[in-house]
Structure 1
Amino acid sequence: MNDQQRLQLITAAIEEFRPAVQRDGGEIELVAVEGDIIRVRLTGACTTCSLAGQTLGTLRRRLVAVLGTPVRVLPAALG
């Protein structure tokens, strides 16, 4: 799989995941893909939610399943 295909899979997985985050008053956006590190920005209700870490973990598990390789999902700084 080339980098473009990988980015498309990551983007599609985040788009599928977005409605669940939005239902809870939050938003998620892809910020960067740096090797096996995927940075996303959580905004809205997610910024003060104590379950934001679990949200990132759930997204990570989905991305591992889609990509077939281990990845880390980390929050990007607000700004």
Structure 2
Amino acid sequence: MLTLLTRIFIKDRENYSNARVRSAYVMLCGFFGIFLNILLFVFKYMAGILSGSIAITADAFNNLTDASASVITLLGFRLAAAAPDAG
């Protein structure tokens, strides 16, 4: 699955020495992880509500916080990749 996504979204995907390619891999994996965690949240939340299980509902919110942590990680990666300040 990830190989297919890299073929679609990353140009020159075999050139690992290029910083832009490595950055594209990080961003792709990060967004893919966020997407999967949100998808898991939706399904687990619905399953928890339908079954009346507090444990499944709580686990759904755990996936939502995992997605939030991934967003913060991607933001940190973007800030770290920015050009240094002049001065």
Judge same fold: TM > 0.5, yes or no: no
Q: Which has the higher strand share?
A: 1
TM category, shorter: 0.3 to 0.5
Scaled by the length of structure 1, the TM-score of the pair is 0.35
Q: Which has the higher helix share?
A: 2
Larger Rg: 2
Highest RCO, 1 vs 2 (Cα 8 Å, sep ≥ 6): 1
